[in-house]
Every structure is written in C-alpha cells, then in structure tokens.
Chains A and B, each alone.
Chain A
C-alpha cells in the first residue's frame, strides 16, 4: 500500500514539474506548483486514512526530490558539454566522484570516523572544514581534472575525448579503491557531516548554539525534517546552475559553442579559437558535475568507490539528457526527474517479483542476479528507441538563442520561414 502512495506522490511531482518547465504563462506555472502541493496534501491525508504513516511518505518524497535534483545538476553539467558543445564525455562518474571525495575529505570531522568497535583503525586524514569550503573545492578539483583530460584530447577527434574520459573515471575508481591512506578504500567513508546540521537541527543532548556575526542561530528542525532544508539547498544549486546556463545559451559565447558543435571547421575558419571554447565548456560542465558530487556525498553521508559506477552515474545521466532533450536546460532537468522516477520506481518491482525462480537450468536469484541487469537492459532499449524514433528528446532544443529576438516573432516551424522572412 505504501508503495502505491509513494508512486502517486512521485507521479504528481513529475506532472507538476512538467507543467512548470514547459508552460510559458506565469499563471499556469503558479497553478501547477500550488496544484502539486494540493495533490501531495490529499495523498498524505489519504495515506493516513488507510494507515500509512505520513512521516514515511514525507521522507520518501524528500529523498526522491533531492536525488533527482542532484541528477538534474549532473545532467545540466553534461548539457553544456554535450548539448551545447558536442563534447562526448562518458566519464561523468569520474567528475562526480572527484567532487564527492574531495568534498568529503575536506569536510569530514575525524572524530566522527570512530563509530564503533573495530572501525577505529581508519587511515586517512580529514580537515574538518565547513561545507562551503568542501563544496567549492569539489568544483575546483573536478575542473582541474577536466583541464588535464581536455589538454590531451580536445584538439583531436571526438572519440579520443570519449576514450580519455571513460579512462579517467576508471582510473579514479582504482585510486579510490587502492589509496587507502586517502580514501579508506573499499570500506568507504561513513558519517559525512551535513551542512549546518548541528546548527539548525534540535540536538538530542544540549549543546552550545552556532553563532553568525554574534547572532545565535535558532534551531528549528526535527532530525527527520532536515531533508527539507537539504532539498532547498539542492533546488538552489539547480536554480543557480540553470540561470547561469540559460544566460550562457543566450550569449555570444554560447552561440559560438553551438557553432563548434555544428561544424567545427567552419567555426575555425571564422576565426574562433575552437580549442579554447571547447576547453572552457568542458571545464564549466565538469565544475557543475563536481558540485553535484559534493551534494551527493553530504546527502547520503557515505562515499565509497561505487560512486564511480559507470551505469548509474554516467549512462543514466546520458539517458536523462537524451530523454529530456539534448541542448535544452529545461529538458535536462525534466529528463533527470523522469528517468530517476523510472529508475527508482522500478525498485518497487522487487517487492512484487518472486525472490527466486525455478528454471530448467537451475534456480535463479531474481532480486540479486536478474533484476539489476534486466533494468539496465531496459534502459538501454529505451535509449536506442529514442535515438531511432525521437532523437530530439521530449523537449528538443530551443531554436532561438538570442535575447535580441522575441521568440514569438519567429515562426514555430522552419517550413513557414521562407514566407515570413
């Protein structure tokens, strides 16, 4: 029963987001936002009526929105690389993971590592800095990684960048696994502090309050409500990244990127330093991915080498971008929420499917062996179908990218162009 309500919550959020991102009229968007809240309230009341505790629904909803939001940040980062500039980065996981690890190592409090018997013998050094330091450092580290990869490959054919990025993700995974003095290896780093958690969440034991410029910060959140604060943080990052990228798309710089994507030789012939433009776009995208990594680490409070997983960190992000609409920032956000909905929604199938199957070739453990691979295959098939039948994705690329032209002044379909122009 709880699953059904959770699915409905997810669907209503997606529907609200769809309207919010696709409709131009301000009134429709406000209506969508308020309507979504109203549906959530109704669902929570309904859930309570049939005996599902609303706390559980709330924590499900906030976790869903936060993770989908972090994926949206990642997808925005990929959009400037692939959607705008045509840079084929299939090492998204690498930049994401660098952000997560750098932020974790800087922010982690050494005292928090010793969590129980047998776990005291940790190897690494931690710096116990505020979240903001870790967040910025994550972006810088990810950008530097991109700089190295870019210098080696951005002058060459697109395939080289693909090879180098998939390579850097794999190498970073090897480093995270083997350099136990830096990353704790496969054991992972637990108990990562969350931004402002001690300052705004009501603690179990009395402790001195945080002060900002001498003013005491009031504690106003129950521990279970902290995720809502984090959601605001994630939405803020999405919003800033989105506004920045939209501004970029409408700037001469953004139009140069598109020119490079469409025909690099022509852009070169027009005197554009294509290498420099590509490098800038690549680094900006990587910086955004690093920010997403930092947000991820501080939300799940745990990081281990699995963070470099090529399927859930690279391939899924690609599918999100292609589904939403390559080259369209709204599409990137929408695609991230929809695909994360499908990806996490299929987890419910695990409750429905039988745990084991008796087959002629032996017993198959469905949950452990079959489910994960089948889900990946299904996602690949979705991708191939979209590539074949709707390559522009759900929203497609915006045709007008100049602030000087009113979008309404341009006919919607290219066919009508000769008549009006």
Chain B
C-alpha cells in the first residue's frame, strides 16, 4: 500500500520536471537559451556532486568540506594558470604570437595541477583526521568535516586573499545558433553565425518564433569536458575492477571487506575521484562565472547538496540527474527568465527544491534514505 503511494509521488515529481522543461522551452522568453545554460551549469554541478555522493555512500557521512576542497583546487589552478601564461611564451617562443592558444594551454595545465592539488589535500585530511574516526558516529565525522571546511577556507584566504580573482582566459565572442522560420518564408532554417551577424538578426530582423542560442568557446568546452568526464566515470564504475569494488563497498562495507577488497585503497580512490572532479568543477565555475572568491565553495556546496538529495543521496547517477535538474531550475526560475526573482537567489532555488524533496520524498528520485520516527 505504502510503496504504491510513494511510487505515485515519484511519478508526480517526474511529471513536474517534464512540465517545467516544456514550460521553459515554450513559454519563457528565450527559454531554450536558459535551458542550455542550465544544462551547462548542471554539468558543472555534476562534477562536484559526484564526489559528495560517493563520500557519503562509502565513508557514510555528509562531507561539509567538499565545497572548500573544490575552491582550494580552483585557487591552486588559478596560480598555476597565471604562472603558465607568463612562462609558456618563454619556453616555446613560437607561442609568443598566439595569445589565445597560450591561455587555453595554460588553463588545461592549471586544471590538471589544480585537480592534483585538491586530491593531495583531500588525502592528507583523510590521513590526518577522517582515518582516525572511521568507526565513530557519523555526527563526529560531520563536526570534523565542518571544522575542516572552515580551516580550508581560512587557508585559502590567508594564501590568496579575500578578494575576487579571475583566470587568465579572455572572454571570446560567442557563436549564435538560430533555429526557426528566420526569413518568414514558411521554411525551417538553421543559422550559425558569429556575434555581429547575430546582432543584426537578433535586433530587429529576427521574426517571432525563432530560437536563438549563444555559446562561447569556453562554454562549449565546459559542457563537453564535464559530460565526457561524467561518462568516463560511468565506465570506470561499471567496468573496472576498482570501480566495481567501489560499488561493492558502497553497498555493504563489511561484506566487501570479507571478499578481500582493500577498503583503505578504495577509500583513497574515492577521495581522489571526488576531489579531482571537484577541483575541475571549481575551475569551470571560475571560467563561467568570471570570478572566484574564497566563499564561492560554501555557496556552491548548497547547490551540490541539493543536487545530491534531489537525485537520492549516495547514488552517483542520482547526483548527475539532480545536478541537471538543479542547474536548469536555477537558470529558469530567476531573472532574466523571471524578472521578479533576483538572480542572486540561485542557491535559494536549489535549497527550496531540496526542502520540498525532503518533505515529499526524502530518498530522492533514485536513492534510498533511512527514515526514523
């Protein structure tokens, strides 16, 4: 009886999501553009949410320092980025002319070093603190992780200062993608153009009913790299021995140990995957928002938790789904799509969705939750 009722709730939630997408596509001015932006932010959130959900599942606690590991990695990458931008033309004189190429190469290198930095700090914290608390109550671990979150934030502030900082990447002209009956001749057209063409098109000439989406190269790279990493992670979890061991450990730690899985090794893998992906998410956040501050991590953490809970805490695929939903909702439900809602409220949208989800279906869309009382 009960399970049937819950299933209805689940389908109702799916229905709301589909209706929301349809509403966004057809009834919001420039809706498709916001949905595409939402997917882009959702794919960034995915990278962060996966680590959060994996640590929750395998180490069995909500890791409040995840957002600050993310921002630590992003700041390490920031330093490396500016250093490489200065150094690359000296090492390869041929690059001196190609400024854009230098900046792209620098950001790639920075991302890798930032991920390594985040992995190292995560492993160090695990070694120093969490490993001593493996058998403690979850709440003790949560206190410890909350303390570590503030510690890392303070560390970032001490090293890099509290102000806004930006990566060396320059804003590049976006490409316009226009679909619809652009000439008014009753035929469907597809149009791809650079900024200036589109301004003409978007300004006065564009007829009603045409859909216009703009994407800068950085945004394309964000979307493609994030989705590729998530796909790679899927194959890793599904087909490699370590990935399978990780899933086994998540299901039942004691049973997995009995079969000879080295739990500590898998835990290190979990931290490495979580922190590495988080650092890359941090860099993408810096590139897409334009700036990072030491508090960015704490703010993003809210959206990450919302994504994880929406999809079902502990489930990697749930986290991906939740991140997409949160990303799209955050872009569709604030200005400019709905002018009345300040776009500063993006984290509040995520939080409100999380609270609603906890009230009607605490186990999320794809996960299970323990329920008491």
Q: Which residues of B contact A315 (CB under 8 A)?
A: 146-147, 150
Cβ-based interface call for B370 (8 A) = yes
Residues of chain A within 8 A of B362, CB atoms compared: 155-156, 160
Contact of A311 with B158 in the complex, beta carbons under 8 Å: no
Q: State which of B138, B157, B348, B358 has its C-beta within 8 Å of the C-beta of A158.
A: B138
- Residue-wise, chain A 367-402 has the 8 Å CB interface mask toward B (1 for contact) of 001101110110010011001100000000000000
Contact of A159 among B61, B132, B348 (CB under 8 A): B61
Q: Is the CB of B154 within 8 A of A374?
A: yes
> How far is it, in angstroms, between the C-alpha of A86 and the C-alpha of B371 when the chains are bound?
17
Question: B354 at interface (Cβ–Cβ under 8 A)?
Answer: yes
Inter-subunit contact A310/B298 (CB<8 Å)? yes
Which one of A172-180, A333-341, A345-353 is at the B interface? Answer: A172-180
Binds A, one of B190-198, B277-285, B339-347: B339-347
Task: Tell me which residues across on chain A come within 8 A of B302, comparing CB atoms.
Answer: 166-167, 170-171
A157 within 8 A of B: yes
For window 170-208 of A, CB contacts with B under 8 Å fall at 170-171, 174-175, 177-178
Is A174 a contact of B148 with CB atoms below 8 Å?
Answer: no
CB distance from A246 to the nearest CB of B (A): 25
CB distance from B311 to the nearest CB of A (A): 14
CB distance from B347 to the nearest CB of A (A): 6
Decide if A153 is an interface residue (CB 8 Å cutoff).
yes
Known interface pairs A160-B358, A380-B148; A369-B351 also in contact (CB < 8 Å): no
Shortest Cβ distance from residue B107 to the other chain A in the assembled complex, whole angstroms: 22
A126: chain B residues within 8 A (beta carbon): none
Q: State A240–B306 Cα separation when bound (angstroms).
A: 39
Contact B139 A158 (CB under 8 A): yes
Contacting pair A274 B147 (CB below 8 A): no
* Given A156-B369, A160-B362, A88:B139 Cβ within 8 A: yes
Is the CB of B142 closer than 8 A to any CB of chain A? yes
Contacting residues, chain A, for B143 (C-beta < 8 A): 88, 318, 383, 387
Q: Judge whether A224 is part of the interface by a CB distance below 8 angstroms.
A: no
| B372 close to A (CB within 8 Å) | yes
**Are B139 and A384 neighbours in the complex by a CB distance under 8 Å?**
no
Given known A-B contacts A174-B345, A369-B161, A376 and B142 have beta carbons under 8 A apart: no
- B299: which A residues are within 8 A, CB to CB? 170
Q: Are A163 and B305 in contact (CB under 8 A)?
A: yes
Chain B: CB-nearest residue to A155: B373
Known contacts: A157-B370, A159-B138, A369-B162. The answer to whether A175 contacts B348 by CB under 8 A is yes
B61 near A156 with CB under 8 A, answer no
Q: Determine whether the beta carbon of A370 is less than 8 Å from that of B147.
A: no
B309 interfacial by beta-carbon distance below 8 Å: yes
B213 sits at the interface (CB 8 A): no
List, in ascending order, chain A residues with CB within 8 A of B138's CB.
Answer: 157-159
Question: Which of B132, B344, B359, B371 is in CB contact (< 8 Å) with A177?
Answer: B344
Given A315-B147, A318-B143, A383-B147, verify A178-B344 contact (CB < 8 Å): yes
Distance in angstroms between the alpha carbons of A372 and B373 in the assembled complex: 42
Also in contact, A377 and B155, with CB within 8 A (given A160-B358, A177-B344, A387-B144): yes
Residues of A within 8 A of B154 (CB): 372-374, 376-377, 380
> How far, in angstroms, from A380 to B146 measured CA to CA in the complex?
10
A72 contacts the other chain (CB 8 A) = no
A275 to B371, alpha carbons, bound, how many Å? 11
The yes or no answer to A239 lying at the interface (CB within 8 A) is: no
Q: Which residues of A contact B157 (CB under 8 A)?
A: 369, 372-373
Q: Is the CB of A155 within 8 A of B158?
A: no
Task: Identify which of A153, A175, A265, A377 contacts B151 (C-beta below 8 A).
Answer: A377
A387 contacts B373, C-beta separation under 8 Å: no
Is B147 in contact with A374, judged by CB distance below 8 angstroms?
no
Give the chain A neighbours of B298 by CB distance below 8 A.
170, 310
Contact of A155 with B372 in the complex, beta carbons under 8 Å: yes
Inter-chain CA distance A268–B355, complex, in Å, is 25
CA distance A203 to B371 in the complex (A): 60
A152 within 8 A of B: yes
Closest to A264 in B: B372
A151 in complex: contacting residue of B150, B306, B345, B359, CB < 8 Å: B359
Contact A310:B150 (CB < 8 A) given known A166-B64, A373-B157, A377-B155? yes
B101 close to chain A: CB less than 8 A? no
Contact present for A384 and B344 (CB under 8 Å): no
Determine the distance from Cα of A163 to Cα of B303 in the docked complex, in whole angstroms.
Answer: 11
CA distance A384 to B150 in the complex (A): 12
- Among B282-306, those with CB < 8 Å from A are 298-299, 302, 305-306
Do residues B358 and A153 form an inter-chain contact, with CB atoms below 8 A?
yes
Q: In the complex, A301 Cα to B43 Cα: how many Å?
A: 45
Q: Give A156's nearest chain B residue, CB to CB.
A: B362
Q: Is B85 an interface residue (CB 8 A)?
A: no
Q: How far is the CB of B359 from chain A (nearest CB, A)?
A: 5
B194 to chain A, nearest CB (A): 36
Contact flag A380-B347 (CB < 8 Å), given A155-B362, A155-B371, A155-B373: no
Asked whether B373 lies within 8 Å of A275 as measured between CB atoms, the reply is yes
Chain B residues with Cβ under 8 A from A369's Cβ? 157-158, 161-162
Shortest CB-to-CB span from B338 to chain A, Å, is 15
| A245 at interface by CB-CB < 8 Å | no
B150 to chain A, nearest CB (A): 6
Contact of B370 (CB < 8 Å), options: A149, A156, A376: A156
Residues in chain B near residue A163, CB distance under 8 A: 62, 305, 309, 354
B113-153 at interface with A (beta carbon < 8 Å): 129, 132, 138-140, 142-144, 146-148, 150-151, 153
CB distance from B163 to the nearest CB of A (A): 10
Please state if B62 and A162 are interface contacts (CB–CB under 8 Å): yes
Q: Which residues of A contact B342 (CB under 8 A)?
A: 178
Closest to A153 in B: B358
CB atoms of A156 and B371 under 8 A apart: yes
B373 contacts which of A160, A166, A274, A373 (Cβ < 8 Å)?
A274
Question: Chain A 301-312, CB within 8 Å of chain B: the 1/0 string?
Answer: 000000000110
Q: Does A90 contact B (CB under 8 A)?
A: yes
From known contacts A153-B358, A155-B362, A170-B298, infer whether A90 and B146 are also in contact, taking CB-CB under 8 Å: yes
Additional 11 contacts, C-beta under 8 A, given A159-B138, A265-B372, A387-B143: A88-B142, A156-B372, A159-B62, A160-B358, A163-B62, A170-B302, A170-B351, A178-B342, A178-B344, A273-B373, A384-B147
CB pairs A–B below 8 angstroms (21 shown):
A154-B373, A156-B370, A158-B138, A162-B142, A163-B309, A171-B348, A178-B344, A264-B372, A265-B372, A268-B373, A274-B373, A278-B373, A310-B150, A373-B157, A373-B158, A374-B154, A376-B151, A376-B153, A380-B150, A383-B147, A387-B144
Query: Across chains A and B, which 6 residue pairs bring their CB atoms closest together, nearest first?
Result: A275-B373, A373-B154, A373-B158, A159-B62, A376-B154, A152-B358
List residues of A whose CB falls within 8 A of some B CB: 86, 88, 90, 148-149, 151-160, 162-164, 166-168, 170-171, 174-175, 177-178, 264-265, 268, 273-275, 278, 310-311, 315, 318, 369-370, 372-374, 376-377, 380, 383-384, 387-388
**A-contacting residues of B (Cβ < 8 Å)?**
56, 61-62, 64, 129, 132, 138-140, 142-144, 146-148, 150-151, 153-155, 157-158, 161-162, 298-299, 302, 305-306, 309, 342, 344-345, 347-348, 351, 354-355, 358-359, 362, 369-373
